[in-house]
Structure 1
Amino acid sequence: MSRVLVTGGLGASGRWIVDRLASDGHAVTCVDQRFAESERGTVDVRVADLTDRGDVFDLVGEFDPDAVVHWGAIPDPLDHPGGEVFENNVVSTYNVLEAAGRADARVVWASSESALGFPFAAEAAAPDYLPVDEDHPLRPEDPYGVSKEAGEALARTTARRHGVPVVSIRPSWIQYPGEYVCLDNDPPAEGVGNFWSYVDVRDIASIAAAALSADVDGHEAVFAVADENYADRPTAELFEERFGEVPEPCDLSGDDAAISNAKAADLLDWEPVHSWREAADEDVDEPVI
């Protein structure tokens, strides 16, 4: 059993990560802005402001984790002032990653596909090539995407300064079993920013778990995406219809996802196992904290 501290552990996707890690036998400290009674003897729920360096260093120092999963953040630029989104996400990421590095704890944290710059761009634009991979340039123009690009710079700094492995997970649009809101859109008019990609929250929990045990040196960024688009149409056809052309080079077949998860497969031995075809109507138990 290892000790893992999870920030944002009571959030929509954070809960699934806590449940997965606790089920795997880890002792988990779940940190959030609110308190909830834990139903597990191996989960300790704590309240903290991640933008308060004292709170973060105090918690990490007390718990002395083997690993930190930093999942707490304002998740988009739409519901808060832009400056608040940027400041909250960057300051909290600095605090958590620096505290983890000083504690010699490996780090897994939530970056985002938004670091590419497409999901919240003022004008929809196509990527340079298909499928998009981790070598694609990052061009964010919104405070959320910029905060994630800055977070990846902090991740590289943490790995260099403290010699701990750091994995930046870039999830696509996270969907929940029985609640696949992506299917409420009418492609290609909507959902252009992530190019009709998505990922099931259970696959997010599994990639976080995989990143904690993978043999990683330094910093690595990986996309977390389902294998196929949610539009149930050929992906190249969607690009042709929406943008008037297909980015070249294009190495896609049928409804292959426009964003590649190949690096996650190679580096973390991870592959998504959930598809919208079954998960959209799936009835599963809620995660247990």
Structure 2
Amino acid sequence: MKIAVTGGSGGGGHAVILDLIANNYACVNLDIRAPKETLCPFVEVDLTDYRAVFKALEGIDAVVHFGGNPNPDNDHFGAADRFENNTLALFNVFNAAQARGIKRVVWASSETIFGFPFETSAPQSIPLTEASIKQPQNGYALSKVISEDLAEQMAALYGMTIVGLRLSNVLYDDETAEASFQKIPGYWADTGSRRFNLWSYIDSRDAARVVRLSLEADLDGAEVFTVAAPDTLMSQPSRELLATHFPTAEIAPEFGGHDSPLSSEKAKRLLGFEAEHTWQRVLGVTRD
């Protein structure tokens, strides 16, 4: 199969291409900028240009859509820019895919729909699942909510399988990366420093693997999956963190230890996914 990966020059897209190539898929990287490392053919594409997207998807069997502006916005100008860019790019990819007869698209939704950065919102119940209420707080998160709705409608309209992955904060085993595993011990002194996404994370390699599993799984229609490592990246127990920062949240009886407040049980059940790379394994240390 030949897979088009939009945003393949970014960190997450790069990890996806690495994993797909290692598992005998052919890839093409569709991005507005060239990659630092060329792993597969690269096509420069502005995803907001529909004709360019349609042309780039010729001869493609499936699409992984990671392209877009990944930064949550901090003001109304940023909100407008990110919403316009992300929703238009996503529609163009979905629409060009259906026009090309492509029946499977896997795309990056986001954990932000749950209430990121949890400054004026709070989770009602823990753990959060695909059935939890959506509380988008900015233009970026709103674009993801609208995109999930769009995926549902277009999958039904065109008989496609469209899989949205609500990925937690993707971390890299690279001390030079902005989102680096090596920074984790520095978070422990301030429990509020990572409350913005409920102290959760996912290794880039696990994020890439869940993409591949989503391409291969026996699924129909539109599906969304929350994807996170099974634990938090904090040294404090999860119930202690929640009691301090979200005391009104209703916590499931079985939730405890250092469990992540983001549940990946649906991904485990339908995709066979379990995270393999915890921060302790990556860093070779323990919470003690």
**What is the TM-score of this pair, normalised by structure 1?**
0.89
Structure 1 pair 191–97 and aligned structure 2 pair: CA distance change class (3 A): same
Query: Does the 8 A contact of 1:236 with 1:246 survive in 2?
Result: no
Measure how far apart 1:128 and its partner are.
1.5
Name the SS for the 2:259 alignment partner.
coil
Identify the residue that residue 236 of structure 2 maps to in structure 1.
Answer: 233
In structure 1, the gaps of 5 or more residues are 283-289
Number of equivalenced pairs: 275
Which is further off, 214-223 or 175-184? Answer: 175-184
Q: Secondary structure at the match of 1:9?
A: coil
Is 1:50 matched with 2:47?
yes
TM-score, normalised to structure 2, is 0.90
Q: Tell me how far 1:104 sits from its aligned partner.
A: 2.7
Would you identify which runs of 4 or more consecutive aligned residues in structure 1 move more than 6 Å? none
Task: Give 2:141's aligned residue.
Answer: 145
- Aligned-partner residue type, residue 132 of structure 2: H
* 1:127 aligned residue: 123
RMSD: 1.9
Q: Which residue number in structure 1 is paired with residue 187 of structure 2?
A: 185
1:229/1:47 CA distance change after superposition, 3 Å:
same
- Please tell me whether the aligned partners of residues 5 and 31 of structure 1 are also in contact (alpha carbons under 8 angstroms): yes
Q: 1:260 aligns with which of 260, 263, 269?
A: 263
Q: Following TM superposition, by how much is the alpha carbon of 1:280 offset from its aligned partner in structure 2, in angstroms?
A: 3.6
The match for 2:83 is 86
Map of 1:271 onto structure 2: 274
Q: Secondary structure at the match of 1:31?
A: strand
How far has the Cα of 1:232 moved from its partner?
2.4
Answering whether residue 109 of structure 2 is matched by residue 111 of structure 1, we say yes
Selected match of 2:153 from 151, 157, 162: 157
Of residues 66, 69, 83 in structure 1, which corresponds to 2:64?
69
Cross-structure match for 2:4: 5
Query: Do the aligned partners of 1:121 and 1:142 also contact (CA within 8 Å) in 2?
Result: no
* Cα deviation digits, residues 12-48 of structure 1 (max 9, x gap): 11100011111111111101111248655xx211001
Asked if structure 1 preserves the Cα contact closer than 8 Å seen for 2:225 and 2:266, the reply is: yes
Cα distance in 2 between the residues matched to 1:250 and 1:65: 46
Decide which of 241, 246, 260 is 1:243's aligned counterpart. 246
SS at match of 1:30: strand
CA distance in 2 between counterparts of 1:183 and 1:254 reads: 18
Shift of 1:101: 2.0
Q: CA deviation at 1:183?
A: 4.3
Tell me which amino acid in the other structure corresponds to 2:9.
Answer: L
Question: How big is the shift at 1:257?
Answer: 0.7
> Aligned to 1:98, which of 95, 108, 120?
95
Q: Given the superposition, is the C-alpha separation of residues 103 and 184 from structure 1 closer, same or farther in structure 2, using an over 3 Å criterion?
A: farther
Q: 1:236 to 1:121 in 2, by over 3 A?
A: closer
Are 1:174 and 2:170 an aligned pair?
A: yes
Indicate the percent of aligned positions where both proteins have the same amino acid.
32
